[in-house]
Amino acid sequence: MCDQSWLEAIEITLHQAPPALFSTFKELVGYMGQDSTLQNQSLDQDTPFQHVELGAIRRHPSCLNHLFTNYPQFMINCQQALSEKDMIQLEHLLSPEASSLDDVQWKHQLNLCLTTSNLLDQFKEIAAYEVYDDL
């Protein structure tokens, strides 16, 4: 069964549940397909991690060094969504060699690399969990 059919079956099953529940489910399983309903909801409301300061994770180099190991679904999503060039750029930005960049340059390059907003949101969520104790 393809992803779209699988999700349609789940959406039918959850038809009486709040729409946010289905959106959360898709985020949890790492679904990255084009969905106009999810895109419209994203335009209407802020993502929970929209205001996370990405530069803060740079002060935790071990988090960056082990990001793909600790968050394998993020790695899979990146490999599926990014070109080879962007994947190499992302790996460089997560490596110690990127320490020569200031936070503004690093965040700018990261935003260019993670052009898929879902990937950027996932990275912000990871940064929040790794850096901020109260989440």
pLDDT of residue 40: 47
Ordered per-residue pLDDT tens for the chain, 135 residues: 676 777 778 877 877 777 777 778 777 877 766 544 444 444 445 566 666 778 888 888 888 888 889 999 999 999 989 999 999 999 999 888 888 888 899 999 998 998 876 898 888 888 888 887 544
Let me know if residue 26 belongs to a domain. yes
Residue 99 maps to a domain: yes
The answer on 111 and 63 residing in a single domain is yes
d(CA 18, CA 14): 8
Residue 99 and residue 61 in one domain: yes
What is the extent of the structural domain holding 11? 3-44
Query: Same domain, yes or no, for 80 and 118?
Result: yes
**Overall number of domains in the chain:** 2
Q: What is the pLDDT of residue 86?
A: 92
Within this chain, do residues 40 and 58 fall inside the same structural domain, yes or no?
no
Same domain, residue pair 79 and 114: yes
- The verdict on residue 126 lying in a domain is yes
The reported pTM is 0.61
Domain assignment of residue 49, yes or no: no
Residue 126 and residue 91 share a domain = yes
